[in-house]
Structure 1
Amino acid sequence: MRTIGWMATGLALIALAVAGWWYRNALADPVERRATIVLPDWPRGAQPVMIAALSDIHIGNATMDAARLTRIVAQINAAGPDLVMIAGDYVAGHDDGVARAGARDLVAPLSRLRAPLGVVAVLGNHDQSVPQAIREGLERAGVTVLDNAAVQRGPLAIGGAGDAFSHHHDLPATVRAMMPLPGAKVILTHSPDLSLDVPPGIGVLFAGHTHCGQGVLPIIGAPRVFWQPGLMCGLVRRGDLTSVIGAGLGTSGVPFRVNAPPDFWLVTLKGH
């Protein structure tokens, strides 16, 4: 019995050590991932634009607070993006009280973002409990929030589509809003599933939602799947459309990350 007790204690200590390691992974500075995408509809003579694309802040749980988000904002600013795009899920969980507190805590860190072409955002599935409070918080931080609407920023016509996972998207309305605007056409949304329905003529879609699996275990892989096959992470090309799917900055559910570090993308868009 004593041997069994020592074995159980040893296994418990190993489990605690592994959990601590996974928790530290979730608190790590985000990885800066870079890509360059050439768009055929790039306006003649326009300079390239570098976009910082981020998502899934999930403020209000054990891995994201205002202090950590402020440090991440400083890291993003240091990269010198021309434009910042945020693909939703600003708060943790689905509790109204947590979401309202998160909406307040977002304002100061996100107001520090610096980009000549501004900051454009959409809401995600975790933002739907109190969407107006989150929208108002983002707008107080100087962020332009799109909901199945479009805006021009420099040489880009940006369509901000609602989240497909929570059925708040209206892709036809988003496309209609984009088409009269001059510039290369790109879409910002939360769930990458929307990319399967994007019509021709749009070159890039920015999304988050998947956390790149968040917990990608050996052999088992990502244990929870809330996205279409092939749309979990990174650059995904389908025809003429390139989807940029980020791992996000925070966590959802358990406060761990395994083989899926937090990240944001620095994507340079340009013409031939």
Structure 2
Amino acid sequence: MSRFPFPTGRTRTIVLAILATVLVIASLVVWKAWRDTMGDPQVLRTTVTLADMPDGTDPVTVALLTDIHVSGPDMPPKRLERIVAQVNALEPDLIVIGGDLVSDGRLVTHVYEPNEIIAPLAGLKAPLGVILVPGNHDHWYDWPGLKAALSKTDIVVLENEAHEAGPLAIGGLDDEYTGHDDIPATLRAMEKLAGAHIILSHGPDPTPDLPEGSVVLAGHTHCGQIRLPLIGSLGVPSRYGKRYECGRIDEGTKTVIVSGGLGTSVMPVRFGTRAQVWLVEFRPEGE
């Protein structure tokens, strides 16, 4: 005989109803986490006017990809291949990648080799090219190996350097989180080029140290990755807290666009956030 017999009558009905409710809620939570983690990226759009872009210049649409984090279980190369096809279908003029190509944390089920990580990215196509800066996970994993694999593609890698892409001068900051960034060197490199200035950085934290009027494309924060109802994100990897957590931030004369990224970090799960691709249209200020 059971020491704690299951309730009978009305009590039994109430207990069964509670258990059924808990089961339904748990199922919905699991479904949402799966959808948020593995769903196709959201495509978010915004327009930024540039004071140093000459009047009459045709608009330039830039696709911003960040925090790809190729690893098992949630971002195998095959999934990245599908995302690359989705990005190409958007037909951007230029594609920029804000680092963190890989993830190799404790909860990762499979760590891929540099060539496996880079191979899908070689399929990205845009008339003005593809530009990339490294992130903290790239430096922690094997940046020389990743860079060697990237050298076999047409992707332009910037480490505190600049590159002219049509009417834009892209300054690519190396990763600030690991202390590899050099803002003065990047700005000097940009000054040597024609074109309106855009900063590509893995994370948004260099923004306060940049000149007035700067436009920054960044990631790193994952938009919190896990955001609970009524509570919000459980944490943002930034020394400025939630100041640059997610999305477009217009701060004085500066504009920062922070993508939620594509993959995951630390835990292979998203909740309350989705993978993101930003399409940013740059126009002359007078138009």
TM-score normalised by the chain length of structure 1: 0.91
**Of the candidates 246, 268, 271, which is equivalent to residue 281 of structure 2?**
268
Q: Is the 8 A contact 1:214 1:257 kept in 2?
A: yes
Q: Which stretch of structure 1 is more off in the superposition, 97-106 or 23-32?
A: 97-106
* 1:120 is aligned to 2:131: yes
Residue pair 2:73, 2:110 contacting (<8 A) in 1 also: no
Say what the alpha-carbon RMSD is for the aligned residues: 2.4
Alignment correspondent of 1:241: 254
Residues of 1 paired with 2:110 and 2:21: CA distance?
Answer: 39
Q: How big is the shift at 1:13?
A: 7.6
Percent of aligned pairs sharing the same letter: 41
Aligned to 2:94: 83
CA offsets per residue over residues 69-115 of structure 1, 9 Å max, x none?
Answer: 111111111111000000010001358x9997242223321111110
2:40 to 13, 18, 29: 29
Q: Does structure 1 conserve the Cα–Cα contact (< 8 Å) formed by 2:212 and 2:253?
A: yes
1:25-64 alignment to 2 at 5 Å? 25-64=36-75
- Does the CA-based 8 Å contact 2:105-2:265 persist in structure 1? no
Which amino acid in structure 1 is aligned with residue 265 of structure 2? Answer: S
2:127 counterpart SS class: coil
Gaps of 5+ in 2: 8-14
Q: Decide which of 106, 109, 119 is 2:120's aligned counterpart.
A: 109
The separation in 1 between residues aligned to 2:230 and 2:55, in whole angstroms, is 48
**Aligned mates of 2:279, 2:113 — CA distance in 1:** 26
Aligned match for 1:18, one of 22, 29, 37: 29
Return closer, same or farther for 1:165/1:32 CA change in 2, 3 Å cut-off: same
Is residue 174 of structure 1 aligned with residue 186 of structure 2?
yes
Relative to structure 1, the CA distance from residue 201 to residue 237 in structure 2 (aligned partners, 3 Å threshold; closer, same or farther) is closer
State the secondary structure of the residue aligned to 2:205. helix
Distance 2:272 2:266 in 1: 16
Cα separation, partners in 2 of 1:148 and 1:112, compared to 1, 3 Å: same
Residues in 1 aligned to 2:123 and 2:203: alpha-carbon distance in whole angstroms: 26
Question: SS where residue 260 of structure 1 aligns?
Answer: coil
- Deviation (angstroms), 1:139: 2.8
Deviates more, 1:210-219 or 1:8-17: 8-17
Deviation of 1:190 after TM superposition, in Å, equals: 0.6
Partner AA of 2:255 in structure 1: T
Residue 235 of structure 1 aligns to a residue in which SS? Answer: strand
Q: Which residue of 2 aligns with 1:212?
A: 223
Q: Summarize the Cα distance change of 1:66–1:81 in structure 2 as closer, same or farther, 3 Å threshold.
A: same
| 2:168 counterpart letter in structure 1 | L
Unaligned stretches of 5+ residues in structure 1 = none
The alpha carbon displacement at 1:224 in A equals: 2.0
Spell out, residue by residue over 1:35-86, the C-alpha distance to the aligned partner (whole angstroms, 9 max, x if none). Answer: 1111110034321110000100000121101111111111111111000000
Q: What TM-score, normalized by structure 2, do the two folds share?
A: 0.86
Distance 1:137 1:11 in 2: 48
Aligned mates of 2:194, 2:213 — CA distance in 1: 13
Q: Which residue does the alignment assign to 2:163?
A: 151
Structure 1 residues 87 and 98, CA gap change in structure 2 (3 angstroms): farther
Task: Output one character per residue of 1:139-164: Cα deviation in whole Å (capped at 9) or x when no partner.
Answer: 32321110011111111111000111
User: Is the Cα–Cα contact under 8 Å of residues 92 and 98 in structure 1 kept in the other structure?
Assistant: no
| CA spacing shift, 1:2–1:110, aligned 2, 3 Å | farther
Is 1:71 matched with 2:79? no
Matched, 1:162 2:161: no
Distance 1:162 1:94, change over 3 A: farther
Once the 2 structures are TM-superposed, how far is the Cα of residue 166 of structure 1 from its aligned partner?
A: 1.8
